[in-house]
Copies of this chain bind each other. A is one copy, B any other.
Amino acid sequence: MNLAIVGATGAVGQVTLRLIEARYPQHRNLKLLASKRSAGRKMNVNGKTFVVEETTDDSFDDVDIAFISVSTEASRRFGPVAARAGAMVIDDSSAFRMEQAVPLVVPEVNGSDLLWHDGIVSIPNCSTTPLVMVAHPLRQASPIRRIVADTYQSVSGAGGAAMDELREQTRTVMHGGPAEPNAQPQRIAFNVFPQIDGFNETGYTVEEQKMIDESRKILHAPDIALSATCVRVPVLVSHCVAAHLEFEQPVSAGEARELLSQMPGVTVQDDPAASVYPMPVSAAGCDDVFVGRIRKDASHPNGLAMWVVTDNLVKGAALNALQIAEEAVALGAVHGQRR
């Protein structure tokens, strides 16, 4: 099976290659693609040296699955090109997520949606994935009516340049220098700000609206009421969500803990007496979605509150994409409905 990694030199692309080495240590049928700027760079994967090529209209001949993690604009440009060339496109951008013909997939939640793709499958925004991973199993206890989710999102969600900026800005500020934002809309060193992406007319950011719309699509639950405030925090990797869920019937914290611990891809870390709960630094580099602080929500008789953390580059992006490929292979759905 020939795999193409579009955006191989980016933050998510690099994690994708690391995960390919971990999961498929023999696989060398790879094509590493990127923008013109990164073309010519050499990268080692599974003991073989690959030269990064510029992505063009001719890049996708003989490619079976193309993982795309680039700008939304570049996805719009090359996603359909790759699909027309016969590749299954697994796209990390928001370009196609809400299109009716495109499944938006977290395999543990709605893997069967891969049966009806038409060449392009989208993966959710990195703050949506952890939320639906915990919401889905809890629906076995009772249907969800409403979710309020406030996020604590690391700079790697904005790419490698934002990670560099956090490091450099922190150094500058600690030496008394000025903190001029460049890769981010505001200073991030020793600061937080409630803006990820631009604003809609409703006053919500595009990122917040993604959490709302994408969660409903993945959960097949257009009626769940959702609100979010998405906040950037000075953390390099991992996103956190303070989530407040309201059910049709009361759900106990114990029942929730039980259902969550049975969910594949979810690890419960919930021992407050021992100060055990998920955190960005402990989740970074791990595959799972971690959940803790599970408690009856004091503000609603049918509510639960919890704290959810995942590595936004792993399950929030690269791992979810690879798992979609694996699930599509298992379902015999790599070529979707096209043939």
Contacts and interface: CB of A to CB of B under 8 A. Distances in A.
Interface of A: 146-148, 150, 152, 166-167, 170-171, 174, 179, 185-187, 190-195, 199, 202-205, 212, 225-227, 229, 231, 233-236, 240, 242, 244, 253, 272-273, 275, 277, 279-281, 292-300, 303, 305, 307
A152 B152 CA distance: 9
Contact of A298 (B167, B226, B273, B307): B226
Contacts of A167: 174
Contact of A225 (B281, B295, B298): B298
Contact of A174 (B146, B170, B235): B170
Contacts of A294: 203
B152 A295 contact: no
Contact of A148 (B148, B235, B279, B281): B148
Contacts of A192: 152, 233, 235, 240, 279-280
Give the copy number.
Answer: 2
Given A152-B231, A194-B307, A279 B186 contact: yes
A294 B240 CA distance: 22
A229 B242 contact: yes
B275 A186 contact: yes
Contacts of A146: 299-300
Given A190-B236, A193-B279, A300-B146, A295 B185 contact: no
